Structure 1
């Protein structure tokens, strides 16, 4: 069994920016020629998350709107009072979404659904460079 760890970076605009990273993850798996296993994608930081969606215009609007209902930007959070950075909502959203995702692969191909893509969602209130850890476990 092999364990391979790589890092990639993505530039985001913040404010619910949704970046499709499926191609980058596929490239890392293919590069290392591991046939079967799992790949984990982890975003470092507490104001972004990783998930899968159908990367299409409707969902690119629906997902941020859903998070706005759950943890709205326009209210005060205790975190804002402590640090003064006015991104408490981003921390709450990222905690709900989660910082990592594991996808199985077989014969070197991710076992995603037909319309399923891997995305990183940056909730912060400013543009960021996000560091992602891609870890492959397999043979």
Structure 2
């Protein structure tokens, strides 16, 4: 059984849902050494999240952003955590809803995703910095 773990610094992106599958794969030459295994990807931040969803049509990502902005609006009078801006508490809520990690099967040295699936960096802040993910690969 092989284990690999590394941190990958993602580029700063604007608020929204961004495909990062190819970026992750390009930083993981170790994937090729695993025939059967698991990749666990963990976001080290509380105002961004990870998800797996449609990777072909960019309107899906736009619709995600629109929906989450309606579902978790800014400037609500009941928010107490507001010192870092009107987008901060909604960003934490969106990250809690979507989650901080994804797990992907590895088959024959590649992520075994569905035909239309990709990994999203879900950036919930208006002016975010670079984000860091920890990727743990396990397999043989």
TM-score by length of 1: 0.88
Report the Cα distance in structure 2 between the residues aligned to 1:10 and 1:19, rounded to whole angstroms. Answer: 11
Q: Which residue pairs with 2:13 in the alignment?
A: 13
Aligned counterparts, 1:1-139, within 5 A: 1-16=1-16, 18-32=17-31, 33-55=33-55, 56-76=57-77, 77-80=79-82, 84-86=83-85, 87-139=88-140
1:75 aligned counterpart, secondary structure? coil
Give 5+ residue unaligned stretches, structure 2.
none
**After superposition, what is the alpha-carbon deviation per residue over 1:86-112, rounded to whole angstroms, capped at 9, x for unaligned?**
210000001101000000011112111
**RMSD of aligned Cα (Å):** 1.6
Pick which of 119-128 and 18-27 moved more: 18-27
TM-score by length of 2: 0.87
Give 5+ residue unaligned stretches, structure 1.
none
Report the Cα distance in structure 1 between the residues aligned to 2:70 and 2:59, rounded to whole angstroms. Answer: 17
